[in-house]
Each structure stands twice: as C-alpha cells, then as structure tokens.
C-alpha cells in the first residue's frame, strides 16, 4: 500500500501548510494513540527540537494521544537520538520526535521510534494512515490518557553518551569547540564533552525558536571553523538542529565530512579488533572512502540515499557502522540510530588511542574531487531511460575507468535531476559534470 502521509523519514513540511498544521497533528496523535493502544497498555514519549512551532505541535499530539486513551510522557527539547535511547530504556510503546532536523525554523515534522529505539515498522505507519482517514473519536472520560513531564531526561542521555567511550581514556588537555546549531543539543552536548574531561568552547547554544540551523551547525560549519582557529582548538564539532548529524573541523580549520569520519571510526574499530561486517555508505559516498576501506580489507556496501536505507543494509549485512557524507553516522555497536554526539566521541577516542590529530587521521583517506550539479526540471524524467543521456554517461564512464564514478538521479524531495561525477582530477571531473548536465538540459528541453 502506498503511504499517503509518511515519507522515508516521517512526515515533514512547512508549518501552517498541510500536513504540518495543528489540526493534522491532533489527528496524528489520536491515530498513533489508537494504534499503540491496540498493542497493549503503556505510554508514549514526546520530544522536540527548539523550533517555535514545537510548542504548538507538542500540545496537539498530547491532546490527540489523550483522546485515544494513551498516556504521554513529555521530554521537552531533546536530540532525536536521545529520544530513541529513552524510548528503549524507559520501555515506552513508542517515541515521537517533533523536528525537521537540519531544515530552517519554518519547517517542522514528526517521526516515530519503536520500543527498540529504531524506526517504526512500515506496518504501524500504514495503520496510522487508515485512522488518519477515519473520523476522530474520544474514549470515555474514565479512560482518557494522562500526561507527565520527565524531568531527568537530559541527565539520563548525557550518561549514556559518556558511556559510549572507555573510561580509561583521558580527554583532559583537549580543547574543542562545539556548535549546537541553536538546536536540541544546546543543553546536552557541552555537558557531555566537558564531563569526559575536555575543555569546551560552546557556540550555537542560545535557541530563540527561530535561529535553529541559521548560519550555524552541521550544514554551515564555516563559523565553527573560524572559532576553532580563533581559540586554537584541537578540533570542532558541528551538530545539526536535532543532533543526529555530525560534521567536524580539524585544528587547521579544515572541514571533515561524514565519509572521512566514518573511515576514521572504521579504521579505529579494525585496530581494536572490533570491526564486524562491511561499512554501509550510500550512492553519494565518496569513491576515495571506498578505495581507502578496501586497502584496510573492509568492504563498502552502498544503499540508496537516506539513513533509513543505510540502516536496512546494516541489518541485512550484519554491519556495525554506516552513514552518509552529510554527517549522519550510525554506530550500531554503541546505539540504535544516527547520533552526532556519540559519533564525535568515537573520533575523540581514536585521537587518544593513536596520539594523532584529527588532521592526521583524516589524511589516511584521500577524497576524490566530486562535482554535483542540480538541474531544475518542470517535468518528470528518468535519466536511466533517456538514450541521449545514457550515451553521454557511458562515454564519461569509459574515460574515467575504475578511477571515477558517475551518478544521475532524480531528487526524491525536489523537482531536480542531480548529476554527480567524481574522479582523481578536479578539472576533468568538472568538465564531465558540465557535459552531462548539458545533456540533461537538452532532454528536458531547458
């Protein structure tokens, strides 16, 4: 059955436009409540990031769950991976996250975690959709749900994060800058890193409801890079608005992306005798990472773009590490979902164990130049089925041989065709990308 409301990562959109409206979230809370009530007695956790609309949607979901006869436990601002952890350890029916991750403040969304702290099974989302298209009812007054606020949620998650690295490691003397993107980690990440012994400089820790991800965080690490240089820090950590992405900056102010971070963690796990299964990347994972892992004797398996698909591949191939170059990193040997704080701690552990700087650790992997061209299209086109485009792709692939890669795909969220070319020579890659982009423009009549 095709899902009407749920995408690959919950429901997301612009606040005030369907389906991200107060009345829809009320109905969604009720629909979720009906589904979870049928699974037996229990409560549902509700957490959010720092967007101003979170207050409205938290109240709407709570009212809907209450009407369905389900108890609610409110967490307040909490990173997405923290909500996943608490859902599992508090044995809740489910966890509900109100967040639009790295998007601007005027967007918002809702996603769910199962009692195992993983994404909700498709079957339960389909059941919710059936209720969403049904008239809303209210249980009799004696059976209405109740709501309570959990006051020690932040402390529980802080301790969990600290426990993801060995206590033998001493991070004293390490100076780090943390950019919390004015998001859900603002009151958590600085405590985690200072409590493991590091000297912490914090930026992006003054959320006002509308400055989340605004010129800061994992999607805009330039401010972090400047701050690292200004404070002569050992490294910088940039999280996104809901705390599930990580981009880092080395002591020279150079940005270290998700591919490089995954490689560092993989090598560290291998040296510790803890590596298991392949690393899972996506279609966008840099070819340099694939070649670097191959030299270590580690296979790379590629999934479709999206953390949901990375997780599916990890489970299928019994892997423990995967993610995306955008900084979504899943360490399944430490937690159940992508977690920026925990991933950063693994990098710090690798630095301590090797005695190397982040700059030295990332230099073990040579990233290939990668050019991405986005072409707006008014009509739907499948690049795989266009003869002219495919002819041009094969010509470029022949020139690149095994030292490069071509990827053309239609965006799943925007009216765009994405043309990506990577190889060893920057100028050649740029030229090939422009050639292919021109072929796409011809095909769509632009």
Catalytic residues: 101
**Residue 412 DSSP SS3:** coil
Q: For the chain, give the number of residues.
A: 446
Contact 133, 123 (CB under 8 A): no
Task: Dig out the tokens for 61 from the structure.
Answer: 């979901």
Contact 79, 184 (CB under 8 A): yes
- Closest Cα partner for 405 from 421, 381, 419, 389? 421
Distances (CA, A) of 317 to 271, 310, 396: 21, 11, 32
Percent of residues in the chain assigned helix, strand, coil, to nearest 5: 40, 20, 40
Distances (CA, A) of 405 to 287, 365, 395, 398, 424: 7, 17, 12, 10, 10
Beta-strand ranges (E) seen in 103-149 are: 107-113, 147-149
The single residue listed with the structure tokens 């605004």 is 214
Phi, psi (degrees; rounded to nearest 5) at 86:
-70, -35
d(CA 422, CA 137): 55
Task: Dig out the tokens for 251 from the structure.
Answer: 């002591």
């Amino acid at each position: 059955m095709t899902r009407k409301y749920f995408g690959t990562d919950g429901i997301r959109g612009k606040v005030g436009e369907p389906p991200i409206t107060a009345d829809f979230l009320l109905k969604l809370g009720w629909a979720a409540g009906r589904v979870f009530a049928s699974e037996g007695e229990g409560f549902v956790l509700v957490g959010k990031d720092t967007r101003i609309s979170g207050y409205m949607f938290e109240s709407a979901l709570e009212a809907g769950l209450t009407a369905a006869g389900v108890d609610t436990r409110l967490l307040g601002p909490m990173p997405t991976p923290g909500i996943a952890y608490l859902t599992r350890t508090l044995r809740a029916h489910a966890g509900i996250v109100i967040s639009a991750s790295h998007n601007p403040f005027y967007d918002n969304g809702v996603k769910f975690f199962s009692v195992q702290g993983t994404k909700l099974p498709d079957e339960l989302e389909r059941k919710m959709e059936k209720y969403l298209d049904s008239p809303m009812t209210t249980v009799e007054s004696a059976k209405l749900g109740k709501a309570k606020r959990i006051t020690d949620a932040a402390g529980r998650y802080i301790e969990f994060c600290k426990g993801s690295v060995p206590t033998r490691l001493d991070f004293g003397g390490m100076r780090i800058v943390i950019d919390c993107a004015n998001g859900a980690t603002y009151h958590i990440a600085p405590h985690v890193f200072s409590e493991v012994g590091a000297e912490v400089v914090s930026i992006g820790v003054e959320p006002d409801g509308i400055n989340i991800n605004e010129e800061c965080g994992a999607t805009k690490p330039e401010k972090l890079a400047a701050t690292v240089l200004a404070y002569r820090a050992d490294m910088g950590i940039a999280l996104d608005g809901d705390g599930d992405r990580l981009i880092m900056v080395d002591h020279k102010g150079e940005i270290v992306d998700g591919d490089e971070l995954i490689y560092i963690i993989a090598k560290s796990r291998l040296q510790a005798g803890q590596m298991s299964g392949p690393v899972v990347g996506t279609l966008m994972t840099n070819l340099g990472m694939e070649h670097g892992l191959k030299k270590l004797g580690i296979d790379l398996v590629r999934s479709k773009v999206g953390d949901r698909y990375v997780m599916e591949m990890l489970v299928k191939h019994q892997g423990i590490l995967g993610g995306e170059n955008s900084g979504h990193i899943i360490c399944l040997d430490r937690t159940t979902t992508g977690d920026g704080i925990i991933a950063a701690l693994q990098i710090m552990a690798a630095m301590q164990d090797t005695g190397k700087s982040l700059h030295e650790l990332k230099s073990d992997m040579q990233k290939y130049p990668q050019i991405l061209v986005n072409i707006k299209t008014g009509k739907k086109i499948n690049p795989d089925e266009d003869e002219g485009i495919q002819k041009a792709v094969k010509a470029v692939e022949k020139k690149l041989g095994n030292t490069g890669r071509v990827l053309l795909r239609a965006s799943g969220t925007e009216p765009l065709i994405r043309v990506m070319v990577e190889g060893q020579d920057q100028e050649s890659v740029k030229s090939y990308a422009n050639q292919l982009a021109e072929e796409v423009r011809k095909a769509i009549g632009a």
